[in-house]
Amino acid sequence: MTWVTAEEALAELGTKPQTLYANVSRGRIRAKADPADPRRSLYQQSDVKRLAERHAGRRKSETVAAEAISWGDPVLTSAISTIAAGRLLYRGQDAAELSAHATLEETALLLWNAESFTCVPSRAPEPASPSIQAALLALAGRVSADLPSLGRARPALQMEACSVLSTVADALAPGPAGRPLHHRLASCWGRPEAADCLRRALVVLADHELNASTFAVRVTVSTGAALSAAVLSGLATLTGPLHGSAWRSVDALAEAASNAGAEQAIRRLLLGGGKPVAFGHPLYPDGDVRANVLLSSFEIPPVFRDVQQAGEEMVGDPVNVDFALAAMTAAFDLPEEAPIIIFALARTAGWLAHAMEQIESGHLIRPRARYIGPSPGEP
Q: Which positions are catalytic?
A: 243, 281, 322
Contacts of 70 (CB under 8 A, 6+ apart): none
DSSP letter for 99, please. T
CB neighbours of residue 164 within 10 Å: 25
Q: Which parts of the chain fold into alpha helices (H)?
A: 6-13, 17-25, 45-56, 61-69, 95-98, 104-112, 132-143, 154-172, 181-188, 195-204, 212-222, 227-238, 247-260, 262-271, 289-295, 302-315, 321-331, 338-361
**Of the candidates 254, 274, 257, the residue with the CA atom closest to the CA atom of residue 326:** 254
Q: What angle do helix axes 338-361 and 195-204 make, rounded to 10 degrees?
A: 30
Cα separation, 170 vs 124, in Å, equals 8
246 in helix, strand or coil? Answer: coil
Cα 53 to chain centroid, rounded:
29
The neighbouring-strand residues paired with 90 are 81, 93
Q: Is residue 316 a contact partner of residue 35, using CB atoms and an 8 Å limit?
A: yes
**Of the candidates 332, 130, 330, 342, the residue with the CA atom closest to the CA atom of residue 250:** 330
Cα separation, 319 vs 279, in Å, equals 4
Q: Is residue 9 a contact partner of residue 20, using CB atoms and an 8 Å limit?
A: yes
Phi, psi of 83 (to 5 degrees): -115, 115
Q: Is residue 331 a contact partner of residue 301, using CB atoms and an 8 Å limit?
A: yes
